């Protein structure tokens, strides 16, 4: 019997350039950050951050761009969606540009690091990797990173079930298994020295944040019965888990998956 997930169209054909246009505010406010140890691993061995030029591809509202820039690097944040770019908080060492992963418009051999956080699954992988190889300096690094919910955590598991009910189950599973897309990097003849790393990550939220992070996902309906049911389910989940909690906060648990490789000369 065929796998329904494998029969779904590739995500890069599902309007990746526009599908977050009505999610930008929630994305900027409520999406989780990435652990400092993951940023350490991304930058390790690349030299002084103040001397680094980084391309953050599919930068969204600049969450990862600012983390790298805070270390001293200069960042070209490549994001094709104008609404996402406009929702980004400004940073002195981050410059936003309207390119795509497959055509960044950046100069050849101009960056020491290509960074893709929560984004590579939306790219046509072979064309994107060829473009990364073009813009990277010889031996430069590509880093693919995702925050994946830790289903061993009971609250996170219940949250996942609530949002799963609100969308198409096969499509939800296809997006939720995005870390497997790193196989394209591992198998690419353009890159070498592939390694993988895992980090624990936690995101603390109030009720508005719990609802907001759900609505920031592109597969969650913004209106209709499924939307209304999701809001009710999340409100109930929040009430149940905070009834004995003085600070009225809940915590989503993540595993941050990081994949690194070097550009072949």
> In this predicted model, what pLDDT tens digit does every residue of 85-94 receive, in sequence order?
999 999 999 9
Q: Calculate mean pLDDT across residues 52-74.
A: 97
Q: Which of 113, 93, 105, 96 is nearest to 52 (CA)?
A: 113
Average pLDDT over residues 53-61: 96
Longest dimension (CA), the chain: 58
Determine the distance from the C-alpha atom of residue 115 to the mean position of all C-alpha atoms in its chain, rounded to a whole number. 10
Here the CATH number for the domain that contains residue 144 is 3.40.50.150
Residue 113 has pLDDT above 90, yes or no: yes
* CA pair distance 215, 67, nearest whole angstrom: 24
Residue 38's domain comprises 11-149+178-202+254-263
Domain count, the chain: 1
Structural domain contains residue 215: no
Tens digit of each residue's pLDDT (9 = 90 or more) over 230-240: 999 999 999 99
- Do 120 and 144 meet the contact criterion of CB atoms below 8 Å apart? yes
Q: Mean of the pLDDT values across residues 117-127?
A: 93
């Amino acid at each position: 019997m065929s796998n329904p997930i494998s029969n779904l169209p590739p995500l890069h054909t599902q309007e990746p350039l526009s599908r977050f246009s009505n999610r930008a505010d929630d994305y900027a406010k409520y999406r989780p950050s990435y652990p400092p140890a993951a940023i350490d691993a991304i930058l390790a061995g690349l030299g002084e951050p103040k001397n680094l030029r980084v391309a953050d591809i599919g930068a969204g509202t600049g969450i990862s761009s600012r983390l790298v820039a805070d270390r001293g690097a200069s960042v070209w944040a490549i994001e094709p969606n104008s609404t996402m770019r406009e929702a980004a908080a400004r940073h002195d060492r981050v410059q936003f540009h309207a390119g795509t992963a497959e055509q960044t418009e950046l100069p050849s051999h101009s960056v020491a690091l290509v960074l893709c956080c929560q984004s590579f699954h939306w790219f046509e992988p072979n064309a994107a990797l060829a473009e990364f190889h073009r813009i990277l300096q010889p031996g430069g690094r590509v880093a693919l990173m995702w925050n994946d919910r830790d289903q061993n955590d009971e609250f996170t598991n219940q949250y996942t079930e609530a949002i799963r009910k609100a969308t198409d189950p096969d499509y939800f599973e296809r997006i939720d298994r995005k870390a497997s897309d790193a196989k394209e990097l591992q198998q690419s003849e353009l890159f070498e020295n592939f390694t993988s790393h895992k980090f624990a990550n936690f995101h603390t939220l109030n009720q508005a944040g719990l609802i907001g992070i759900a609505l920031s996902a592109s597969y969650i309906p913004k209106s209709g019965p499924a939307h209304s049911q999701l809001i009710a389910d999340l409100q109930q989940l929040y009430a149940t888990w905070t009834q004995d909690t003085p600070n009225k906060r809940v915590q989503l648990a993540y595993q941050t998956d990081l994949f690194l490789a070097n550009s072949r000369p």
